[in-house]
Amino acid sequence: MARRILRALLPLLALGVGLAVFIGLVRSRPSAERAARPSLGAPVRVLSAKAADHPLAIQAQGQVIPARQVVLAAELTGRVIWQNPELVPGGILREGDLLARIDPRDFRTALEREHATLETNRVLVQTEERRRAVAEREWQLMEREGVSASAEGRSLSLREPQLRSAQATVAASQAQLSQARLTLSRTTLRAPFNATVLDRSVELGQLVGPSVRLATLVGTDDFWVQVALPLEALSSIRVGEDGSTARVVQVVGERTIERTGHVVRLLKDLDPAGRMARVLVEIDDPLGLELDPEARGLPLLLGASVRVGIDAGVARSVFEIPRAALRDGDVAWIVHDGRLAVRPVRIAWRREDTVLVASGLADGDLVIVSPFAGAVQGMAVRVVEDGNGVTPRGTRAARKP
């Protein structure tokens, strides 16, 4: 009987022992694995810092304006009898080109009249000179006969006042003749400089005068770009003949127009809207008229809004890091011996997407560029990929397109 009971309990006992051993193994395995597996820390992406020289540029917006602009008006009253076919909006003119001609007939007649008057007055001078010569001889005879007279009497006898009056009349006639020539020359209007026509308000046959606006010309040798800058940026640029180089870019659809100029003027007042300083950048040959037609491309247009990059020198031995790597209060996080270290840095220059660090970093520092929450000084971190897509093992990490 006892043997039967023992035989019946043996399978149950073996099953219980096996179950206890299995449970013990299951409970002990995770703890062993956890004890054997070291903590890897928070994953971060880093960029290896490297000092280098970086050219600096002040980025700003500007507007293209004329460097030279003139409103033409007639200097006399008359009727327009001819005008240049290029005297239309957008027309191109060279310095000295004839723009329009006013009917010169009345002014030519006036010139001829003044010329005749001058000749008449010259004859009067010649007549007085002959009379004076006769009087001189008579006076000499009187002196030989012992006749004396005062200096005033001698002057009157020799007709000196009459001669001076005739000479003055000739001088006045010469001046009037010069004025008549000048007036006649003003019947032709010429371009004062290389220009394009901004607008025209005169027509063939129109009666014009000094108060009538004929056309507006804008110089084509150069344009200005007016640029608004923060006041602190003025210390980084040069103004004048040796002004800082500037790169001007105008976007036209899918194409861009690029020109190079230099800063020539600092306006002496602030921008009323933004209280910004304003400088003028001079662009030579903005329309490309001095280039071969095949090489001209698109012209830089007046009134256009453009992007301007002004040369501000070179920052020596600085570290370029993404703006995202700069934490609050100009602080960078770096990986040092597998742990996060906080480094205060001094910023030398701020760009659109990056900053240039002047101090606070050293060559080879692993700057954390990835964001993560709960960062604490000294916390464990692990590098999963640097800023160039290289993992700690030196293999190129795959990137999604």
For the segment 107-136, what is each residue's pLDDT rounded down to a tens digit? 999 999 999 999 998 888 888 777 777 667
Q: Which residue has the higher pLDDT, 316 or 38?
A: 316
Per-residue three-class SS string for the chain: CHHHHHHHHHHHHHHHHHHHHHHHHHHHHHHHHHHHCCCCCEEEEEEECCEEEEEEEEEEEEEEEECCEEEEECCCCEEEEEECCCCCCCCEECCCCEEEEECCHHHHHHHHHHHHHHHHHHHHHHHHHHHHHHHHHHHHHHHHCCCCCCHHHHHHHCCHHHHHHHHHHHHHHHHHHHHHHHHHHCCEEECCCCEEEEEECCCCCCEECCCCEEEEEEECCEEEEEEEECHHHHHHCCCCCCCCEEEEEEEECCEEEEEEEEEEEECCCCCCCCCCEEEEEEEECCCCCCCCHHHCCCCCCCCCEEEEEEEEEEEEEEEEEEHHHEECCCEEEEEECCEEEEEECEEEEECCCEEEEEECCCCCCEEECCCCCCCCCCCEEEEEEECCCECCCCCECCCCC
pLDDT-based confidence at residue 396 (cuts at 50, 70, 90): very low
Whole-prediction pTM = 0.71
Residue 371 pLDDT more than 50?
A: yes
Indicate whether 147 pLDDT > 60.
no
- Specify which of 4-13, 87-96, 294-303, 368-377 reaches the highest per-range mean pLDDT: 87-96
